[in-house]
Structure 1
Amino acid sequence: MRKYHRWLSVIFGVFLLWISITGVISQIPMWGEMFGGEGDADRPVAAAPAVPAGFTCPESMVCRPKPSGSRSWVGVVHHLHSGETFGPLGTVIATLSGLALVFFSFSGLWLYIQMWRNRKDRALKPGWFWK
């Protein structure tokens, strides 16, 4: 298990770092709303831009003005975070990275439990943490 944990961490480490950084960046606009600042929800919606004569919104779609301010950045960061910016391959890598994160969680816990049991079996000082 330790071998797989080590090899997958080398392969997916960079992707997981990318996903974690873009995930944190995508939450920055929400921090202002949480800590009493003016959020985008409080701002008035800009008037819709002029549409060409004769244009009607298709029934299967909802037509709205493009988001502005921090909301537009959230959309860009979301596409980077999910891998959509890099096409189908980016989405596959993002999905595999998420699955790798689940694997690292379980295998890391499993390795810790094995080390803890091994330490207990060797009659060393018991405890949750050691040097």
Structure 2
Amino acid sequence: MRKWHRWLSVFFAVVLLFVAVTGLLHYVAVWWPSAPPSAEALAAQTPPADFVCPEGWRCTPPRAEDGLRSSLGLIHHLHSGEEGGLWGAIVVMLSGLALVFFSVSGLWMYVAMWRNRRAKGLKGGAFWR
């Protein structure tokens, strides 16, 4: 198990780091404060007089697309692998599967080492040095 864990991590560490960074950028872009819409933009978006906002919907004008928010689409496409076409999406999907594998195999190896140490009568506890 360690052999697979080690060799797969060499490749997927780079991809998972890229996915993590673009995911963080995505949320930074979403939460980044943007300028309120100008009076002209609000006037252009004014709904017709007979328009009624459906119940449960929030009918507010969209925020201005400036700064980092304007690149939100690109960041999303990079994060999901869509910018790389079919192969990019496949690599990102495999990275997600690798993340599950690393979580399970890492826990498996930890439990095996913990049992080994306990069987040999070495220092116990959940975290040892």
- Please, what TM-score do these two structures have when normalized by structure 2? 0.73
Q: State how far apart, in whole Å, the 2-side matches of 1:79 and 1:120 are.
A: 48
Match of 2:12 in 1: 12
Following superposition, the deviation at residue 72 of structure 1 comes to: 2.7
Following superposition, the deviation at residue 29 of structure 1 comes to: 3.2
- Please, what TM-score do these two structures have when normalized by structure 1? 0.72
Match of 2:77 in 1: 79
Match of 1:107 in 2: 105
Contact kept, 8 Å, 1:29 with 1:39, in 2: the verdict is no
Q: State how far apart, in whole Å, the 2-side matches of 1:115 and 1:39 are.
A: 51
Counterpart residue identity of residue 23, structure 1: G
Q: Does 1:2 align with 2:6?
A: no
Q: State how far apart, in whole Å, the 2-side matches of 1:28 and 1:76 are.
A: 13
Contact kept, 8 Å, 1:12 with 1:97, in 2: the verdict is yes
Following superposition, the deviation at residue 23 of structure 1 comes to: 0.7
Following superposition, the deviation at residue 74 of structure 1 comes to: 1.8
Contact kept, 8 Å, 1:26 with 1:77, in 2: the verdict is yes
Contact kept, 8 Å, 1:82 with 1:91, in 2: the verdict is yes
Match of 1:97 in 2: 95
Cα deviations across residues 90-121 of structure 1 (Å, max 9, x unaligned)?
Answer: 00000000100010010001111111111101
Q: State how far apart, in whole Å, the 1-side matches of 2:30 and 2:18 are.
A: 20
Gaps of 5+ in 1: 33-37, 49-64
Gaps of 5+ in 2: 46-61
